[in-house]
Amino acid sequence: MLLDRNNYHLFQPLLYQVATAGLEPEQIAKPVRAILRGQKNFDFRMVEVTGVDFAQRRLATSGGPISYDFLVLAHGGETNFFGLDSMMKHGLGLKDIGDAVTIRNHVLTCFEQAMLETDPERRRAKLTFIVVGGGPTGVEMAGALSELIRLVLVKDYPRLNIKDVRILLLEATDKLLASMPERLREAAGKTLWRKWIDVRFGATVADFDGEQIRLKSGEIIPAHTVIWAAGVRAAGLSARLGLPTARQGRIAVEPTLQVQGHPDVYIIGDAAYGEQNGEPLPMVAPVAIQMAETVARNIARALHNKPLQQFRYHDQGTLATIGRNAAVAHVFGLNLSGFPAWVMWLVVHIIQLIGFRNKLFVLLNWAWDYFFYERAARLITRD
């Protein structure tokens, strides 16, 4: 039985394209019941899990208690604002469909409001877009935002002075895409600059009140939009389990992915904390997928009283796209940048999308946008 508070599976790596009006939310999500329709022994309940009674082997949920024999917790991650209250209030995270649609509406509304604004300073503030975090999410978001504005919105707003538009990417360290080799990091930085994105290193955010952002250095930048891609942590459920948490609220698991002292409970994905070669496992989708495979095998082995396997992560590399024809790829021992990396990015993401229909519609959308310099989903659907 699968429990989830949403009725769909979301392909998070393309969320930033929903946020920049390139894809429609329905194209990167698929109803859980549709995905697992063929499984005769499968049941789904749309509930929110609020706690676990490990002794009684029972979950507390919004739909009443549910008992289990084996429990796999895969409740994932959420945006980590690192306790920065002002950012939690005014910043825009990017972890679910609601977040992505909120960013889309907000960015487009800024342009509409800028057209009504007579004061040039206030207009420039409305047209200043700040992305915080130089990991893959921040880099992809900044690149897509730049293309949305410079390839598409310029045509929508013939009275817009493009010199009023600023996009900044703030990174607290001195590295973009820290997990990539240096050559690709440099390539990514250059590509961002070529897209008129002002990349700032050593830039730590101190405060954001919705109208201006203040950096630790004392610098103040008037801006109405801050997209926060600077961190993830384990989702809230982790803190309510009564288990000791490690970094980012994650729960340490045994090498078999079992919870210490509860051999019938497994944790996988962003919520699980494990180490490999002395390094913490990254909070990325490939780790979660490979963990799921190990747990499935381990539960089968437990049922047959066989010894359990230890989890080993096989790092297949990292990919990040920075717009048309531009990406960096560190995969299968290869280091690619530019067009070859971009093609690899396309292929890998289309393959991983669940369902033929989603693959088809996303491909069509990409082809359309590529050839016509368009983003069809640029609707402001709510405030």
> Where does this chain bind its own copies (CB under 8 A)?
6-8, 24-27, 29-31, 33-34, 37, 43-47, 63-64, 97-98, 108-109, 112-113, 115-116, 155-157, 159, 357-358, 360-361, 364, 368, 374, 376-382
Q: What minimum distance in Å lies between the beta carbon of 58 and its own copies? A: 16
* Residue among 215 and 376 whose Cβ is closer to its own copies: 376
Closer residue to its own copies in complex, CB, 44/313: 44
Which of the residues are catalytic?
140
Nearer to its own copies by Cβ, of 46 and 88: the residue is 46
CA dist., res. 155 & res. 158, Å (int): 6
CB atoms within 10 A of CB 62: 12
CB of 354 to its own copies, least distance (A): 12
Q: How far is the CB of 382 from its own copies (least distance, A)?
A: 6
Rounded least distance, CB 381 to its own copies, Å: 6
Rounded-to-5 percentages of helix, strand, coil across the chain: 40, 25, 35
Helix H or strand E segment including 370: helix 356-372
Closest distance of CB 347 from its own copies, Å: 22
Give 133-136's long-range contacts (Cβ < 8 A, gap of 24+). 133/170, 133/171, 133/228, 133/229, 133/230, 133/231, 134/169, 134/170, 134/171, 134/173, 134/175, 134/176, 134/177, 134/178, 134/199, 134/201, 135/177, 135/178, 135/229, 135/230, 136/177, 136/318, 136/319, 136/320
The contacts of residue 202 (CB under 8 Å, 6+ apart) are: 171, 172, 173, 174, 217
Nearer to its own copies, 2 or 343 (CB): 2
Q: Is 208 exposed, middle or buried (0-12, 13-18, 19+ CB in 10 A)?
A: buried
The smaller minimum CB distance to its own copies, of residues 23 and 71, is found at: 23
Nearer to its own copies, 15 or 29 (CB): 29
Phi-psi region of 261 (alpha: psi -120 to 50; beta: other; left: phi over 0): left
Quote the least distance from Cβ 208 to its own copies, whole Å: 25
> How distant, in Å, are the alpha carbons of 40, 85, 173, 369 from that of 21?
38, 28, 30, 10
